[in-house]
Structure 1
Amino acid sequence: MTGRFVFIVSLFFSVYVFAMFQGGKVSWTIFYMLTPFLLYSIALFVYPMNNIKAERIIHTRAIERGGKLSVTVKISRTVPFPLLYAGASEKWEDPEMAIKANNRTKHLFIFGFKKEVEWSYEIEKLPRGEHIVKGIEVEVSDFFGWIQKRAFLELKDTILVYPTTTPMKYVPINAQYDRGSLVSPFSLVKDTTMATGVRDYQSGDRVTWIHWKSFARTQNLMTKEFEDRQSEDLVVVLDNRASETFEEQVELAASIVEEAASHQANIGFISVGAETAVFPFIHSADQLHDVFVHLAKVKQVPAEEVLPLEVSSFTGGAGSVVLVTGNPDWPFIQSVMGFVKNRKSVICFIVVNREEPISDRLYEQIKFAEAKGITVHMLGKMQFSEAFKEVASL
């Protein structure tokens, strides 16, 4: 940049000296024609780029896979210097995002004397994941490109694209009466029409269960106790090993968790990958949101990087387990067995691509798991809504 500035100053004096010594109308005409351009380049060289600010407005915050992101970017400044050729571009952590936007994240404009400009763009068919936009790069130039100045305006935003969910009818897999063989510490369905007593408030209790009269009297939060009609702990286990149907596996797991939570089931969630993520209780909207944030960020990993699931990773003691996988090999399924006393309480959903033939290896894995007493059910994406209906008929 300094070299170009020296060139412009030298050119200015050279033209002036040429006009002085050469004289004549032509030489002075050349000098007067070049002077405005040269002076503008010199002024642009000293123009402070740090007076330029940026603001990003994200119109769509909650986006599911395949959805559309709508953004408006505003560039403002305090010094009204006449900027001519200016350009701004969003800088994403993943360069593929600019390609998906068909380069609409870049914008060329003539600033002029305006103090603010803005433009909008959309990115369609967003993939699930955590997408980070780091900032905005602004570039200005003179008439001939002799002086080009850039400024990176750090403006970080994180866009989470959640997995799509499929509405399904939830059916308890292995509900038992409280005195049955699989008594769980939380009830699947509570009769909330009649309170049988009160107890101290515990983290995760629903606000609607708080006994406000006791609170007004003692200033201590107390929770109503209800009669338990059925009880079952359900744990959804997502296999994050590399698979051709991994995105569909994430969507099925998200659909099950969302549907079971909406029916006030005592549901836990485990995501098995290079590191095991455990969500033992999903009783509130915030806890459900935490699970979906994880499902938005989760990535598949090579099988050799996945550690076997240990029973100690979940201390709840599940009544039933739903395993969502695309690779039902026995060593991995066996690591899930420690959660339950009865193998029939394990349902293995295998997500497959119905448009492709099922491999002989997959059939062998299914037969082996069924021989060990595991209930196995293959699902294509179009069958997600009937997942629990199929389980109920098994």
Structure 2
Amino acid sequence: MKKGKELLSLTGRFAFIVGLFFSVYVFAMFQGGKVSWTLLYMLTPFLLYSIALFTYPINTIKAERIIQTKTIERGGKLVVTVKLERTVPFPLLYTVAIERWADPAMVRSAKNSTKYIFLFGFKKRVEFSYEIDKLPRGEHIVEGVEIEVSDFFGWIQKRAFLELKDVILVYPNTTSIKYVPINAQYDRGSLISPFSLVKDTTMATGVRDYQAGDRVTWIHWKSFARTQSLMTKEFEDRQSEDIIVVLDGRQSDLFEEQVELAASIVEEAANHQANIAFASTGNETVTFPFIHSADQLHDVFVHLAKIKPVEADEVKPLVYSSLAATAGSVVLVTGNPDWTYIQSMIGLAKNTKSIICFVLVDGERALSSHLQEQIKFAEAKGITIHALSRKQFSEAFKEVAS
């Protein structure tokens, strides 16, 4: 519909120019005199250019987008270069190139820098760059480049949309978390830690035959050099549980901080080769039962970049997943520790031994009476609750250990 209106408008403008050209010519022929012919000679170049612009195939222009910033975290800067190239060197005058984003908020963040006005002339190639500061976390889509050209007086205006789709993922920020073992003992000790983020790979007690899934860093290369058989080191293991990190996907004023803390915990655990799984609740329960490689960690961060909060009444009940067979501790990151929701988390793992609940709070405000009541009720049910502000992320597990 829109294209039809534009085509009709362009055709009408072309008919106007042809009619104007014919009228001026007839006026000069019948009126005669220096003034009438001078008027014809003055208008002819502009009218001929407008007619030529009408026939110029603007949609043959090719666009290329280069995203110079490869990995972007929340609050970071996006740097983009757009290149336009054509094969027909027609002298284009007033040219406007506009990057079209699916989210209008991105254009406002760019402060109109996505719009570039230039004189194309006879050049075959033109490029321009722009920056967008303080990007919000999420999946941002740039759909293409819109080209607008005009003649001298704006009689002929042509527009073409060059489809060039790119998806920009802005990942959550992460904070380096200082892990402190909680009552950690080894197999020969008497205590069992509530959970462990770090597997101790400094105390090798022997070797065994290599099994599929063993990490390359655990291979005993000296034995391989002697026997030409792959052997894996055996370590003094902590007697600890697996960890399931759960992100509460319900709407919250501090949802971005919740995502950041969950991402920080998962990244810290993965970097230390911990046995960790991740899940998020919302319109559906999304689970990542094994995070042992860089690709699996990247999949989690892609999900955390795309996740959006939902209203509490839109949260779907937990369903059976691959995490149901996992025995371990649940680390819940939430901004609303109501007992109904926490109780549903207990069934996430088959043999849940403990639930550690990090509640995100505004460090500059006192806890509301409602939140205090929720925390007290959950603690009375045996749930470990720790209220954290953004500034306390790096010391989160010290709070658990204390």
Question: Please, what TM-score do these two structures have when normalized by structure 1?
Answer: 0.91
- The residue type equivalent to 1:145 in the other structure is G
In 2, the alpha carbon distance for the partners of 1:174 and 1:303 equals 36
C-alpha distance in structure 1 between counterparts of 2:332 and 2:226, whole Å: 47
Q: Secondary structure at the match of 2:199?
A: strand
Asked if 1:277 is matched to 2:282, the reply is no
Letter in 1 for 2:284: E
Q: 1:355, CA displacement in angstroms? A: 2.0
Matched, 1:262 2:268: no
> How many Å apart are 1:308 and its aligned residue?
2.9
- What is the identity, as a one-letter code, of the residue corresponding to 1:42? I
Structure 2 gaps, min length 5: 1-9
**Which residue of the other structure, out of 154, 157, 162, is the alignment partner of 1:148?**
157
Q: 2:23 aligns with which of 5, 14, 22?
A: 14
Alignment counterpart, residue 92 of structure 1, candidates 97, 101, 116? 101
Which residue matches 1:125? 134
Shift of 1:228: 4.0
Partner of 1:196: 207
Corresponding position: 1:168 with 2:170: no
Q: Shift of residue 388 of structure 1? A: 0.7
| 1:239-388 pair list within 5 angstroms | 239-310=248-319, 312=321, 314-338=323-347, 339=349, 341=351, 345-388=354-397
Structure 1 window deviating more from structure 2 (167-176 vs 301-310): it is 167-176
Contact 2:285 2:319 in 1 (8 A): no
More strand per residue: 1 or 2?
1
- Structure 1 Cα separation of the partners of residues 168 and 24 of structure 2: 54
One-letter amino acid matched to 1:224: T
Equivalence for 2:111: 102
Aligned equivalents of 1:368, 1:310: Cα separation in 2: 26
Tell me by how many angstroms 1:292 deviates. 0.8
Output the CA distance in 1 between the equivalents of 2:228 and 2:306. Answer: 41
Matched, 1:392 2:401: yes
- Preserved CA contact (<8 Å) 1:92 1:132: yes
1:309-352 CA-to-partner distances (Å, cap 9, x unmatched) read 34645134242211000000111111121326465x21100001
Structure 2 counterpart SS, 1:229: coil
| Alignment counterpart, residue 229 of structure 1, candidates 237, 245, 260 | 237
Q: Give distance in 1, aligned partners of 2:63 and 2:198.
A: 52
Q: CA deviation at 1:245?
A: 0.5
C-alpha displacement of 1:286: 1.1
The question of whether the paired residues in 2 share the 8 Å contact of 1:235 and 1:318 is answered with: no
Whether the aligned pair in 2 keeps the contact of 1:98 and 1:105 (CA below 8 Å) is yes
| Structure 2 letter corresponding to 1:54 | A
Q: What is aligned with 2:12?
A: 3
Secondary structure in structure 1 of the residue aligned to 2:284: coil
Residues matched between the structures, number = 388
Aligned-partner residue type, residue 261 of structure 1: A
Aligned-pair distance for 1:171?
A: 2.8
SS in structure 2 opposite 1:31?
A: helix
Tell whether the 8 Å contact from 1:176 to 1:232 is kept in structure 2 after alignment.
no
Measure, in 1, the Cα distance between the counterparts of 2:83 and 2:280: 40
Matched, 1:29 2:54: no
* Superposed displacement of residue 177, structure 1: 4.4
Q: What is the aligned-residue RMSD (CA, Å)?
A: 2.6
Q: What are the superposed Cα offsets for residues 25-71 of structure 1, whole Å, 9 maximum, x if unpaired?
A: 00001000100000000000000113201111111111111111111
**Which residue is equivalent to 1:158?**
167
Cα distance per residue 1:82-140 (max 9 Å; x no partner): 00000000000101101000000000001001111111111000000011101000111
Partners of 1:187 and 1:317 in 2: how far apart?
18
- The CA distance in 2 between the partners of 1:307 and 1:217, in whole Å, is 56
Cα offset, 1:3, TM superposition? 1.3
In the superposition, relative to structure 1, how do residues 201 and 216 fare at CA in structure 2: closer, same or farther (>3 Å)?
farther
- Paired residue secondary structure (1:269): strand
Structure 1 residue 247: Cα displacement: 0.3
Equivalent AA in structure 1 for residue 110 of structure 2: A
1:138 matches 2:147: yes
CA distance in 2, matches of 1:21, 1:54: 49
Q: Which runs of 5+ in 1 are unaligned?
A: none
Residues 97, 115 of structure 2: 8 Å contact kept: yes
SS of aligned partner of 1:158: strand
Judge conservation of contact 1:65–1:164 (CA < 8 Å) in 2.
yes
| Residue 80 of structure 1: how far off its partner (Å) | 0.3
Q: CA–CA distance in 1 between the matches of 2:130 and 2:278?
A: 37
Instruction: Report if aligned partners of 2:251, 2:309 keep a CA contact under 8 Å in 1.
Output: yes
Aligned partners of 2:176 and 2:126: how far apart in 1? 43
Identity, % of aligned positions: 69
SS of residue in 1 equivalent to 2:309: coil
Cα distance, 1:217–1:82 mapped onto 2, change above 3 Å = farther
Counterpart of 1:62? 71
Is the CA contact (8 Å cut-off) linking 1:174 and 1:319 kept in structure 2? Answer: no
